Structure 1
């Protein structure tokens, strides 16, 4: 405990550390949002896979990612004497993750007669690298400071850089989406993203410096993976937070996943999706001061409930407003504005769950806790991607076939998030009572 407090006191962190650490989210955003926004389109419209199969392949890789996260988190906590610091884990994992990311686009082109196997193998390799990057970087949020407000500030900084990464990604992707449907521009695009990722992530590692030392766990205080998992299951606060995360990751995030297909049918071309997602991202960026101020004045729980209400307004705008680029962009902007508040508070509540576990059992399980929650997000993202693929299949979408009507797309983009918003109020109420 003493070692942790030496590097994570309840005082404001230096601005350079805030920016340097949070910039890691920019690098992760480049990779994560490429897969989230464009990889399903790449598999269906470029490689010609059926949408249900393409969504299923993405789902399988995210399930693999989700299953490997708890193991990676447990190993980091259990063998802290070997890893020493989160900085070392990041530095060693970054090159592999960058190379594997380019592989998810390149391998199917290199092995055209084994496209499905190439997509699956490349996806599994990429997810292994991403797991260790994500676990180490996310765990630093609980490690760098023990102050609740400072964690909220760090969460906002992280989200800001995630949004900047998304905007950079859209700038790189727009020319690719305007070209003819061939794989080579996408492969070159993945290489450019990989280079940008390397530069950003190693800048993050340099900024962390000597901070982020792992809490050394003695053999007497260490526990098996099963015992650690049972402890987390007894943390009711963490369980309610997990339910909230599931609802958000499954349904609230589904709107941008449909953006490229919605744009192709309603707005005249897939390239229009870059403007919709840009509006979504600008909403996120502009909202951050608002959500930080709201959280400071009214607390985390009132803030996230307000964000959910704003998201409801975005869904209703998309559902009932006349179909046009302006109305669609406005709906995406409001949705992004709201989602920023939801996301910032989620990442601010996670370290609170770790603190509660330490109060209950005397063990923090920093990396292991993130190794449970983060895979929940990823598995739910995989299910959500598979759900998008299934909905596209039900509407008759065939990727390369231009004859297609999008009945049901707009309804799915709005009704599913509205359903999740209503249910999400239940875990939020329970968490407030427990904290």
Structure 2
């Protein structure tokens, strides 16, 4: 007698509903992208370039906040370090909460590529308006400044949460292969470096203008320019991604996600985000303060910040050529060692040799850019394995952790810039963060980097056939 074939287990109603929802979101993703990458394609760099331009616009806001917000509030607007820390920390924490809420909305609405593109353009518009309000703080009577800076800062963080989470989620829901996500990550970090470089270029003139009492007016003009760039590029990205899909794409099929991977599997990347937003970010926030205290020339101080930003940009083409996805662990390790080496050079440089400080800052930026590329490429690889309706939530948690860590960072900055601090003390703070972060990144690298390459990252979570349509 033939052995009886065991019957398949009957799914419970909740499981069946989850499977139906996951199936619908996979079909939506497949219809929107044609089953292949829209971003990161070798044969269509123009779309990826538009994404890079939009990320450059967003980076002007991000690095403006990273490098200049604290310096602006204390040195231009005249707030005490304690008030500065309160304004920025509250803004970051509220932004983190809103990041999570935005992720929950994306989770419920199963937002795909086109919806995310629309949300990031709306976020850019409101962020630009709020940013101009923040920098207008310096023009108000002093008793009004703390309240105004807090209110406009919170509004900026709320709008930026929508802008950031929706645009960043495109790394997963507008790509279908590991190689495409690596190209998008390189484009993203290169654009970030350009944004950082653009902000760094104005630091020297801003320091000089503030010494003459005109820093506030310059910052308002710069905020208007940054807002115009960010809004324009975000709208261009929205138009590009919401336009009709090339019909040639519809004949290409690739594996789609299954729903077996949970958010808990992304914990090494979440830990990496905390490390990167604490150590290297401390270096960047303290750069303007160190430049004003250590160097009489505003040009030298500006060159120091420019060098770190230039280092981020310089490495991006090399990382993509030398370290394919299969060598992601090596990229993490080499980049971490370069970042730590740059911090050590910066720490040991003699004050009568500014070129040594500049070299250390450049080396720090080179390693930091490599770590950023590896971190974002790995995270988007893992997030792409999640069910489509959970990808927005994953990126929201990633962004929220960054904001919470930055809130802690501004408290450290407030403690570090007390009136009695010396340039030696400041650079000690600046160097310690990147060195400790590099150690942590090397430890986490094996767990964070995808273990498989190609069109499938793990056969147990990918490999479903394209959905059938009637």
TM-score tier (shorter):
0.7 to 0.9
The within-5 A match list for 1:80-159 is 80=110, 85-107=115-137, 109-110=139-140, 112-159=142-189
Superposed CA RMSD in Å reads: 2.6
Cα distance change of structure 1 residues 252 and 185 upon mapping to structure 2, 3 Å threshold: closer
Scaled by the length of structure 1, the TM-score of the pair is: 0.86
Deviations 1:307-330 (A, max 9, x none): 001111101111112223201110
Q: 1:380 — aligned with what? A: 405
Cα distance change of structure 1 residues 9 and 433 upon mapping to structure 2, 3 Å threshold: closer
Query: C-alpha separation between the residues in 2 aligned to 1:89 and 1:156?
Result: 23
* Corresponding position: 1:353 with 2:382: yes
Kindly state the Cα deviation for residue 240 of structure 1 after the two structures are TM-superposed.
1.5
Q: 1:225 — aligned with what? A: none
The within-5 A match list for 1:208-357 is 208-210=241-243, 235-270=263-298, 272-296=300-324, 299-323=327-351, 324-357=353-386
Q: 2:22 — aligned with what? A: none
Kindly state the Cα deviation for residue 207 of structure 1 after the two structures are TM-superposed.
2.9
Q: 2:213 — aligned with what? A: 181
When structure 1 is superposed on structure 2, of 258-267 and 161-170 the one drifting more is 161-170
Aligned to 1:408, what secondary structure does the other structure show?
helix
Query: C-alpha separation between the residues in 1 aligned to 2:148 and 2:176?
Result: 44
Query: Does the 8 Å CA contact 1:108/1:114 hold for their aligned counterparts?
Result: no
Query: Does the 8 Å CA contact 2:178/2:381 hold for their aligned counterparts?
Result: yes
Aligned to 1:85, what secondary structure does the other structure show?
helix
Q: 1:367 — aligned with what? A: 392
- Aligned partner (choices 425, 429, 432) of residue 412 of structure 1: 429
Kindly state the Cα deviation for residue 197 of structure 1 after the two structures are TM-superposed.
2.4
Query: Does the 8 Å CA contact 1:314/1:331 hold for their aligned counterparts?
Result: yes
Q: 2:448 — aligned with what? A: 431
CA radius of gyration, larger in: 2
Aligned to 2:169, what secondary structure does the other structure show?
helix
Cα distance change of structure 1 residues 252 and 126 upon mapping to structure 2, 3 Å threshold: same
Query: C-alpha separation between the residues in 1 aligned to 2:200 and 2:384?
Result: 38
Query: C-alpha separation between the residues in 2 aligned to 1:371 and 1:63?
Result: 13
Q: 1:164 — aligned with what? A: 194
Q: Gaps (5+ residues) in structure 1?
A: 213-227, 398-404
Aligned to 1:145, what secondary structure does the other structure show?
coil
Scaled by the length of structure 2, the TM-score of the pair is: 0.80
Q: 1:216 — aligned with what? A: none
Kindly state the Cα deviation for residue 285 of structure 1 after the two structures are TM-superposed.
1.5
Kindly state the Cα deviation for residue 111 of structure 1 after the two structures are TM-superposed.
5.0
* Corresponding position: 1:204 with 2:237: yes
Query: C-alpha separation between the residues in 1 aligned to 2:96 and 2:179?
Result: 29
Cα distance change of structure 1 residues 297 and 201 upon mapping to structure 2, 3 Å threshold: closer
Query: Does the 8 Å CA contact 1:261/1:270 hold for their aligned counterparts?
Result: no
Cα distance change of structure 1 residues 350 and 364 upon mapping to structure 2, 3 Å threshold: farther
Kindly state the Cα deviation for residue 175 of structure 1 after the two structures are TM-superposed.
3.0
Cα distance change of structure 1 residues 200 and 175 upon mapping to structure 2, 3 Å threshold: farther
Kindly state the Cα deviation for residue 210 of structure 1 after the two structures are TM-superposed.
2.9
Query: C-alpha separation between the residues in 1 aligned to 2:274 and 2:325?
Result: 27
Query: C-alpha separation between the residues in 1 aligned to 2:84 and 2:282?
Result: 16
Q: Matched residue pairs, number?
A: 405
